[in-house]
Structure 1
Amino acid sequence: MTATTENLRDAALFGNRFATEEVPSREFPAAGMTATDAMRLVAEDIALEGDPARNLATFVTTWMEPEAQRIIAGNLHRNFIDHAEYPRTAEIERRCIRMLADLFHAPGETTGARTQGSSEAIMLGALSLKWNWRKRRQAAGESTANPNLVFGGDVHVVWEKFCRYFDVEPRIVPLQPGKYTIGPDDVSPHVDENTIGVAAVLGTTFTGHKDDVVGINNLLLRIKSERGIDVPLHVDGASGGFVWPFLYPHSEWDFRLEQVHSINVSGHKFGLVYPGIGWLIFRDRSDLASDLVFEENYLGKTDATFTLNFSTGSSMVLAQYYNFVRYGRAGYSYIMKNMQENARMLAEKLQDTGRFTLIGADEEQLPLVAFQLTDRSNFNEFDVSWQLSAERGWMVPAYTLPPNAQDVTIMRALVKETMSREHVDTLARDIVDACTTLEKKGGAHESERRKMVTGSGH
């Protein structure tokens, strides 16, 4: 139905013109609309999506305090890169970098950068590994061809992206059934004089555990001592960098370990800030390859930039600083321990049903529950995930693990800051009810199961 003058007049008087009119979706609109109509159009589209509070798949923050939201809303128009015009915003970034360096036990003066999430931080950190390796090789008169990077199959896909985009050989350590992280014995066969670095994960997205960072560090120290090859270690703390310092403060994984030269962390995950903000922290200023730093002055002042992106909003940097001063160590510890306690309660409730097996619940882990069915004769994890979403609106993902554990299917429920004990109890009951329903009907409908397996479902 096309809009007529009468339709537009009645819509303005009584409600929404898009109740019967097709929304713009293919061609650039020839004419505009009122602000109210535009607001309603967008809001009603988004209303069809899932509730972020029930999205237990994402690690990304879905709630912030009203005061933090005011800081964000009041600075959406402030371009972060304009350091000459907004020097206090630049100073707040430096404060955050110094605070994170302190949190991660940097031994001296260091440097770093805010990034657009951990993906950019990883790209920049890995680029610095490559440039520093090349500099060392050139100084020794050795070939700089064929660089490689060693990491496990438990990493985020951005590590493989880096290798493809920047011409580095990925040496990926495969996982195994029952072993979903990597350690020194896995890494050792892959390290040679062309290795620009090793990446270890602190809090995998698959099961929430960490690689054996201490063991890998000790291996690299032995290689340096016995073979004269100095291979730095980068810790991908995208999820765990804001968890381990508060839940496991005595667990060594950061700059307390000699070969750890850089760390990335996502402020928009357990840093408790909305998307997208990440951080890259170096052990020492020399770990940032100088060739990657550019100076420019067209904004009115000579400034050094070390990012893949340029223009970006200031809001999330300011929101991160808000959280640091708002919560401090005591507040972050309180929040993380609450999430951990609720994760443990959910794990106990699921285990008590007799239907599920927990994965690594007795190990250091992110505040989540990784679990799998003990009996798949009538339905599988993909069926449970779909049934939970269809019946109760919970988004609890089911997925297969990377090679060589691709035959292993698990589910993962992330316990968020806003998830109360009552929510935990309700989720546990809903999971049991979903299983009961599936048992009665013999699994999900085949079409829905196919959607889950191919990733075309919710």
Structure 2
Amino acid sequence: MSNSPEDPLSPAALKILNDLDLLRANDIRWRDGKAFSLTYCASDDARHLSETAYRMFSHENALNVAAFPSLKNMQQEVLEFVMQLLEAPPSGAGFMTSGGTESLILVVYSALQRAIALRGSERPLNERFNVVLPSSAHAALEKGCTYFNIESRRVPVRSDWRADEQAMIAACDDNTILVVCSAPQYPQGVVDPMELIGNEALRRNISFHIDACMGGMLLPFLAPPHLPWNFSVPGVTSMSVDLHKYGYTAKGAGVIVYANKELRQHQTFFTDNWLGGMYGSSGILGTKSGGPIASSWAMVKYFGVDGYRNLALTARKVALQIARHIDAIPELVLRAEPDTTLLCIGAKDPQSLSIFAVARALRANGWYVDEQTPPDSMHLTVNVVHENRVDEFVSDLKVAVAHSLKIPSNDEKGNTPLPYGSV
């Protein structure tokens, strides 16, 4: 293999790499388990394999898999693995994407194209199509609706943070092209009820998507029988899963699976309306590095079903350990008992304690946690890298709470949440 990581680098190249190391000196410490957001790490061995596989195919271009049949074969094997976990029907078909945001934008786009194909000119003039989704559904769906001038029809969740099925059904009308549930939703970490919604979507021939970007690699091993969440639910037309989360691949790897190829075709784009010949694309991106595909294929081969089961059970165990410690801290409250590995923490008395001040105190001590609202909360995404950090984190959390009690709860600087995503 040419240009392997072992090939000697010139002094100039080594200096640039050293400069890169210096640039990331203040980045979050995800490799040693001090980040509860944005990154996922199963083990050093798995990470090295993932990075090496990515590097091997980083310059291959998945825009044209006829030129790189290796990428086509790897993508298909990854899709088959994920479809098995999702209990997709034999007719199931899909594509790899760059991750959850692209997947959800494409879900909105394909639902729009399907609605146009089904309804043609039936839509009344001066009215927009709409998407019905719970208030907890991911912000990327909002982005998709904005891009395609579709109404985002948000429905408040129940008191337990789960989707209100009856209210969502009532929100649907003749211009509804898509309904969405989450498995789990990100903010509070609970799986939406979805069977009533699925049956209604099936009856009305509305596209129904389950966003399993967070839970797709966890729930196959964690979901109890009474918690339907996958293609076994009636009416499901598509599901999305992020491999760069609990699949522990390199960043830029997601999957969208449709119930059949006919549904999938609404996602694809073809044109010859230029001077360059036929152009086709399965998603938003044109040029796509083969790196994420190779990394995903390597991780699927490395872990397999049994390996991912062990990872899911370990991450769940760690999340519950932290949850029980939070229950024992008088000033804090767990907003929901997690269905997977996501923890949402609030202040029991927001008048005396700002949860954002607690988060800032943790950050000052080297931890990285998310802040979100409404309601004011601190969010932890727990994975196996945190297994040996529980006691240290809980100890620092208690110190952060004690420190934050001394800060006025109406302090404006301490009461403004930091953004989940930034420009």
Query: Cα offset for 1:45?
Result: 1.8
Partner of 2:96, secondary structure, is strand
Match of 2:209 among 224, 234, 242: 234
Deviations 1:187-226 (A, max 9, x none): 02211121111011111221111211223213334xx2xx
Amino acid in the other structure paired with 1:174: P
Q: Quote the residue 2:359 is aligned against.
A: 385
Deviates more, 1:161-170 or 1:248-257: 248-257
Amino acid in the other structure paired with 1:453: P
Does 1:416 pair with 2:383?
A: yes
Q: Quote the residue 1:40 is aligned against.
A: 18
Amino acid in the other structure paired with 2:16: A
Does 1:190 pair with 2:171?
A: yes
Structure 2 unmatched ranges of 5 or more: 1-10
Is 1:203–1:210's contact at 8 Å kept on the other side of the alignment? yes
Q: In the TM superposition, what are the counterparts of 1:44-59 in structure 2 within 5 Å?
A: 44-52=22-30, 53-58=33-38
Q: Quote the residue 2:414 is aligned against.
A: 449
Amino acid in the other structure paired with 1:157: A
Amino acid in the other structure paired with 2:19: L
Deviations 1:150-185 (A, max 9, x none): 111112211111111112111111346x34231311
Match of 1:244 among 211, 219, 236: 219
Is 1:387–1:444's contact at 8 Å kept on the other side of the alignment? no
Deviations 1:121-158 (A, max 9, x none): 1122221111111111128x565852111111112211
Q: Quote the residue 1:5 is aligned against.
A: none
Q: In the TM superposition, what are the counterparts of 1:20-419 in structure 2 within 5 Å?
A: 34-52=12-30, 53-58=33-38, 64-138=46-120, 143=124, 146-175=128-157, 178-221=159-202, 224=203, 229-248=204-223, 250=225, 251-290=227-266, 292-294=268-270, 305-361=281-337, 365-390=339-364, 392-401=365-374, 408-419=375-386
Cα distance between partner residues in 2 of 1:259 and 1:308: 26
Number of equivalences: 404
Query: Cα offset for 1:117?
Result: 0.9
Cα distance between partner residues in 2 of 1:275 and 1:399: 23
Deviates more, 1:112-121 or 1:210-219: 210-219
Cα distance between partner residues in 1 of 2:335 and 2:403: 25
Partner of 2:237, secondary structure, is strand
Partner of 1:170, secondary structure, is strand
Q: In the TM superposition, what are the counterparts of 1:420-439 in structure 2 within 5 Å?
A: 420=387, 422-439=388-405
Partner of 1:240, secondary structure, is coil
Query: Cα offset for 1:68?
Result: 2.5
Cα distance between partner residues in 2 of 1:369 and 1:290: 36
Structure 1 unmatched ranges of 5 or more: 1-32, 402-407
Identity %: 20
Cα distance between partner residues in 2 of 1:235 and 1:381: 31
Query: Cα offset for 1:91?
Result: 1.1
Deviations 1:15-65 (A, max 9, x none): xxxxxxxxxxxxxxxxxx933443333321211222123111326558643
Q: Quote the residue 1:26 is aligned against.
A: none
- Check 1:389–1:232 CA distance in 2 against 1; reply closer, same or farther (3 A cut): same
Query: Cα offset for 1:397?
Result: 2.3
- Check 1:456–1:411 CA distance in 2 against 1; reply closer, same or farther (3 A cut): closer
Partner of 1:254, secondary structure, is coil
Deviations 1:372-406 (A, max 9, x none): 2223343310110011111x2111223212xxxxx
Cα distance between partner residues in 1 of 2:395 and 2:141: 38
Amino acid in the other structure paired with 2:380: A
Amino acid in the other structure paired with 1:55: A
Is 1:272–1:323's contact at 8 Å kept on the other side of the alignment? yes
Pick the structure with greater CA Rg.
Answer: 1
Cα distance between partner residues in 1 of 2:351 and 2:116: 54
Instruction: Give the TM-score taking structure 2 as reference length.
Output: 0.87
Query: Cα offset for 1:448?
Result: 4.9
